[in-house]
Amino acid sequence: MIAAVLQARMSSTRLPGKVLADLAGAPMITRQIERLNRARAIDRLIVATTDDPSDDVLADHLTKAGVEVFRGSMQDVLGRFAGAVASLDEDDLVVRLTADCPLTDPGLIDAMIGQQLASHAHYTATTLPTRTYPKGLDAEVMSVGTLRVAAAEAVDPYEREHVTPFIYRRPDRFTLGGVSQDRDEGEVRWTVDRPDDLVFVRAVYEALYREGEPFTSDDIRSFVRGRADLARLGGDPRV
């Protein structure tokens, strides 16, 4: 079993409510789930949100849409992730994703999972050994057993809040792997944390989104290269 756990909440500091912001006529999280559903290696998708009342509207929307939802602690995100996969076996895999990435690349996720399966590493990420893909294509995969070790032993508040630092901070204990590309796009920004990020992804979706006709990361690159107004929107490189 390979389960993707999508981390989501309404109380973003810089852009509250962004996961339900409109993107081409649907909530942003819905558009991201559409893209994730094209990842061939993922067997099950779970949205892990919080048990805070502020996330009632998010959980209600997802449940009505037929999406599996797990609710847990707002502060202890590592514990929330472990709870989301409590029914899985230790040898199953869990893919960690965040709901601020509506341009997520299903092909890259499949490649990362394939690397994990081939290497038998404890943990594989799209940011190792260094980030070469745009911010917003981030994904991590680990065995459920490895996640449970982290959840049982981590005491550092940073490691409880960010889920995987307990693992990748300990290369002497865990085998780490990664996927990278030849070109360096590590500073390119496709994630959504600020109002200008939302303007950017809305422009991409307006130009490229057609129901039933998926667009690729290369389609995004080609589009942005032709739009000088978007290439450094908000002061960050977008291509």
* β-bridge pairing 2-7 and 140-143: unpaired
Band (106; pLDDT cuts 50, 70, 90)? very high
Q: Is 112 helix (H, G, I), strand (E, B) or coil?
A: helix
CATH class of the domain defined by 2-184: alpha beta
DSSP state of 222: H
pLDDT at 12: 82
Give me the residue spans of the domains in the chain: 2-184
Q: What is the pLDDT of residues 111-149, one digit of tens each?
A: 999 999 999 999 999 999 999 999 999 999 999 999 999
23: CB partners within 8 A, 6+ apart: 30, 31, 102, 201, 202, 205
**CA Rg, the chain, in Å?**
17
Give the burial string for 162-182 (b: 16+ CB within 10 Å, else e).
ebbbbbbeeeeebebbbbeee
- Please state the rounded mean pLDDT for residues 81-89: 98
Q: Indicate the helix (H) or strand (E) that contains 6.
A: strand 2-7
Q: What is the pLDDT of residues 56-72, one digit of tens each?
A: 999 999 999 999 999 99
Cα dihedral: 171, 155, 9, 203 (round 10):
-30
In this prediction, residue 152 has a pLDDT band, given cuts at 50, 70 and 90, of very high
Band the pLDDT of 13: cuts 50, 70, 90.
confident
pLDDT at residue number 14: 84
d(Cα 98, Cα 104) in Å, to the nearest integer? 10
Alpha-carbon 78 to chain mean position: 15
The whole-number pLDDT of residue 178 equals 97
What number is the average pLDDT over the span 222-230?
A: 97
Gap between the Cα atoms of 95 and 39, Å rounded: 11
204 band by pLDDT with thresholds 50, 70 and 90: very high
CA distance linking residue 168 with residue 174, whole number of Å: 7
